[in-house]
């Protein structure tokens, strides 16, 4: 297994002197302590706690309904999120959610660079955890590199096996948690461990767990550098006021080794210790400037601050700052963080518009959806008395947990009557029943009196009134012989 600084993957395509891909072995990042490292631990703990514990949260939806707070019920074709229940026909909520997530990511990037990649992304969280496991069993960077160089022995094989077994256990827990979102978590967990779960459940554990093991254990930074599309376009969302991890070259250069207590007169503050590179999970040398391989985890800031403290130099040679501030500081000017800028305003506005549209639409949901399908064969029938008849399949989605009687009437075709198979005939309005939480399907015939509905197409509206007085109108067309 190759390793070491020579093997570190760095993409600095802009410099033109480094290939886009260079085969490399494992990079063993050095452990660091500091503010950002603590933030990363807390973020990891919070995200993993939510991921593993959320399926066990309960939410009372009344008798007969699942009481799991977050559930994707594939057989029942529903998704539940606390008090929200989404039917397949309401997939636009998912679209809205994806849109919100996308814009939030853009906003996050415009404000604080790749903070998502560095602190919140699943790949980062699991890689961080896997590296820590490896560190606990095999030691930190120097011991780890020594371990790689050591000859093969039973002890070496045993410790590598222990690392892999621990990774497998974490990956399996990840896969198991995934499946818990698709069925009652307690029952699914019992079934998994008693061998009674379906083959699909075991397959998902294998696939999700397998990817977790391979991507976080072995692919690691290659995922961020070579596989993730976000890394490729993230810089398009930055501007000079975005906070990114940056090296103050004007202060650090000319760099060079230094001894404790020596004067830094006439030279830069960078002591060329490479602590920033060695602690970087992707092996990036941030002193070359912002790079594709930098995921914005800020661990190099902690590493460099520790070095600065040791030499009694001001912290912040590497810092989370905007390029505008960096330039201002170089010239001795004032620095400030600009939250409100044209691009952040656009993102804030998009978030507000999409978010409010979703909230309003959820708040004013009638609990009833209607689908109408015009029968095509035949499109219409001319009756012996000169009237015209069209047939429709009329579906009512009763999304509330009570049986409901609805009133159905028509608009747009004067004198038209309704005939419902299995229900009333020759009426202008009729009652349709839908059991709780079901889709009720009716065959409905609309008959236009002689002299009406003869046009090839007449706009027709089905008007459904819910028991609580809400009106659901569905437009369709009434076909005639065009005479
Ligand atoms: S940690 Fe700081 S001082 Fe050391 S090489 Fe990196 S930038 Fe220079
Ligand atoms: S250069 Fe610094 S911020 Fe970028 S990935 Fe490496 S440690 Fe994280």
CB distance 283 to 275 below 8 Å: no
User: Residue 32 Cα, ligand 2 centroid: separation in angstroms?
Assistant: 12
Q: Is 294 in the pocket of ligand 2 (CB under 6 A)?
A: yes
Q: Is the pLDDT of residue 11 over 70?
A: no
Q: Does residue 4 belong to any structural domain of this protein? A: no
Among 236, 260, 280, give the residue marking a domain's end. 236
Asked if residue 176 and residue 192 are part of one domain, the reply reads yes
Calculate mean pLDDT across residues 299-314: 96
Asked if residue 218 and residue 194 are part of one domain, the reply reads yes
Q: Is the pLDDT of residue 17 over 60?
A: no
Residue nearest to atom 4 of ligand 2 (CA): 294
End-to-end CA distance of the chain: 84
Q: Does residue 14 belong to any structural domain of this protein? A: no
Asked if residue 318 and residue 199 are part of one domain, the reply reads no
Report the candidate in 237, 35, 225 with the shortest Cα–Cα distance to residue 127: 225
pLDDT in tens, 177-233: 999 999 999 999 999 999 999 999 999 999 999 999 999 999 998 898 888 888 777
- Give the domain range for residue 450: 368-479
CB distance 407 to 413 below 8 Å: no
User: Residue 242 Cα, ligand 1 centroid: separation in angstroms?
Assistant: 23
pLDDT at 175: 97
Among 236, 253, 275, give the residue marking a domain's end. 236
Residue nearest to atom 5 of ligand 2 (CA): 294
Q: Is 317 in the pocket of ligand 1 (CB under 6 A)?
A: yes
Q: Is 231 in the pocket of ligand 2 (CB under 6 A)?
A: no
Calculate mean pLDDT across residues 131-156: 94
Dihedral sign, Cα of residue 193, residue 196, residue 201, residue 206:
positive
Q: Does residue 162 belong to any structural domain of this protein? A: yes
Q: Does residue 356 belong to any structural domain of this protein? A: no
Per-residue pLDDT band for 332 (boundaries 50, 70, 90) equals confident
CB distance 416 to 449 below 8 Å: yes
pLDDT at 12: 47
Asked if residue 246 and residue 230 are part of one domain, the reply reads no
Q: Does residue 348 belong to any structural domain of this protein? A: no
Q: Is 205 in the pocket of ligand 2 (CB under 6 A)?
A: no
Q: Does residue 1 belong to any structural domain of this protein? A: no
pLDDT in tens, 145-163: 999 999 999 999 999 999 9
Residue nearest to atom 4 of ligand 1 (CA): 273
Number of domains the chain contains: 3
Residue nearest to atom 7 of ligand 1 (CA): 270
User: Residue 43 Cα, ligand 2 centroid: separation in angstroms?
Assistant: 17
Per-residue pLDDT band for 400 (boundaries 50, 70, 90) equals confident
Rg of the chain in Å (alpha carbons): 32
Report the candidate in 73, 35, 91 with the shortest Cα–Cα distance to residue 184: 73
Asked if residue 150 and residue 40 are part of one domain, the reply reads yes
Asked if residue 297 and residue 232 are part of one domain, the reply reads no
Asked if residue 257 and residue 228 are part of one domain, the reply reads no
pLDDT at 2: 38
Distance CA 76, CA 184 (A): 13
Q: Is 326 in the pocket of ligand 1 (CB under 6 A)?
A: no
Asked if residue 441 and residue 318 are part of one domain, the reply reads no
Q: Which of 316-320, 340-344, 363-367, 431-435 has the lowest mean pLDDT?
A: 363-367
Asked if residue 177 and residue 72 are part of one domain, the reply reads yes
Distance CA 64, CA 440 (A): 18
Distance CA 297, CA 293 (A): 11
Q: Does residue 260 belong to any structural domain of this protein? A: yes
pLDDT at 19: 54
Cis preceding linkage at 378, omega within 30: yes
- For the chain, the residue count is 483
Q: The domain spanning residue 378 has which CATH number? A: 2.60.40.10
Asked if residue 209 and residue 74 are part of one domain, the reply reads yes
Asked if residue 170 and residue 254 are part of one domain, the reply reads no
What atom of ligand 1 comes closest to residue 269's alpha carbon?
3
What atom of ligand 1 comes closest to residue 274's alpha carbon?
5
Q: Is the pLDDT of residue 457 over 80?
A: yes
Integer CA distances (angstroms), 439 to 114, 399, 461, in order: 45, 8, 20
Q: Is the pLDDT of residue 6 over 60?
A: no
CB distance 418 to 444 below 8 Å: yes
Among 175, 207, 236, give the residue marking a domain's end. 236
Q: Which residue has the higher pLDDT, 397 or 2?
A: 397
Asked if residue 247 and residue 210 are part of one domain, the reply reads no
What atom of ligand 2 comes closest to residue 279's alpha carbon?
7
User: Residue 12 Cα, ligand 1 centroid: separation in angstroms?
Assistant: 18
CB distance 174 to 217 below 8 Å: no
pLDDT at 21: 58
Q: Is 272 in the pocket of ligand 1 (CB under 6 A)?
A: yes
Q: What percent of the chain has pLDDT over 70?
A: 95
pLDDT at 23: 61
Q: Does residue 352 belong to any structural domain of this protein? A: no
Category of 386 on φ-ψ map: left (φ > 0), alpha (ψ -120 to 50) or beta: left
Distance CA 272, CA 266 (A): 16
Q: Is 283 in the pocket of ligand 2 (CB under 6 A)?
A: no
Q: Is the pLDDT of residue 15 over 60?
A: no
Per-residue pLDDT band for 5 (boundaries 50, 70, 90) equals very low
User: Residue 5 Cα, ligand 2 centroid: separation in angstroms?
Assistant: 15
């Amino acid at each position: 297994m190759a390793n070491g600084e020579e093997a570190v993957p760095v993409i600095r395509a802009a410099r033109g002197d480094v290939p886009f891909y260079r085969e490399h072995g494992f990079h063993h990042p050095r452990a660091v302590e500091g503010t950002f490292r603590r933030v990363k631990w807390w973020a990891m703990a919070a995200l993993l706690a939510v991921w593993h514990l959320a399926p066990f949260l309960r939410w009372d939806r009344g008798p007969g309904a699942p009481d799991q707070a977050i559930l994707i019920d594939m057989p029942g074709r529903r998704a539940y999120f606390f008090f929200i229940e989404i039917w397949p026909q309401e997939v636009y909520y998912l679209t809205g959610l994806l849109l919100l997530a996308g814009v939030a990511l853009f906003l996050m990037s415009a404000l604080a660079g790749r903070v998502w990649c560095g602190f919140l992304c699943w790949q980062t969280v699991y890689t961080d955890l896997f590296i820590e496991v490896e560190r606990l069993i095999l030691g930190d960077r120097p011991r780890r590199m020594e371990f790689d160089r050591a000859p093969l022995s039973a002890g070496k094989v045993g410790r590598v096996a222990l690392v892999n077994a621990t990774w497998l256990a974490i990956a399996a827990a990840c896969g198991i948690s995934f499946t818990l979102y698709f069925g009652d978590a307690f029952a699914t967990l019992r079934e998994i461990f008693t061998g009674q779960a379906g083959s699909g459940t075991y397959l998902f554990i294998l696939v999700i767990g397998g990817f977790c093991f391979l991507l976080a254990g072995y692919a690691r930074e290659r995922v961020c550098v070579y596989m993730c599309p976000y890394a490729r376009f993230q810089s398009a969302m930055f501007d000079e006021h975005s906070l990114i991890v940056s090296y103050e070259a004007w202060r650090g250069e000319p760099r060079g080794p230094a001894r404790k207590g020596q004067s830094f007169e006439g030279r830069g503050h960078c002591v060329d210790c490479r602590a920033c590179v060695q602690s970087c999970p992707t092996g990036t040398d941030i002193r070359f400037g912002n790079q594709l391989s930098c995921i914005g985890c800020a661990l190099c800031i902690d590493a460099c601050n520790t070095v600065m403290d040791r030499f009694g130099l001001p912290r912040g040679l590497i810092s989370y700052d905007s390029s505008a501030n960096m330039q201002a500081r170089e010239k001795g000017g004032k620095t400030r963080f600009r939250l409100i800028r044209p691009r952040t305003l656009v993102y804030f506005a998009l978030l507000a518009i999409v978010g409010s549209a979703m909230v309003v639409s959820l708040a004013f949901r009638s609990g009833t959806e209607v689908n109408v399908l015009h029968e095509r064969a035949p499109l219409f029938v001319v009756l012996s008395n000169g009237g015209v008849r069209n047939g429709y399949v009329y579906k009512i989605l009763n999304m509330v947990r009570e049986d409901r009687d609805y009133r159905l009437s028509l608009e747009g075709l004067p004198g038209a009557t309704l005939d419902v198979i299995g229900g009333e005939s020759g009426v202008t309005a009729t009652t349709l029943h839908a059991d709780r939480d079901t889709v009720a399907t009716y065959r409905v015939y609309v008959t236009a009196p002689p002299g009406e509905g003869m046009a090839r197409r007449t706009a027709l509206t089905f008007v459904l009134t819910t028991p609580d007085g809400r009106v659901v109108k569905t437009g369709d067309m009434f076909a005639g012989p065009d005479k």
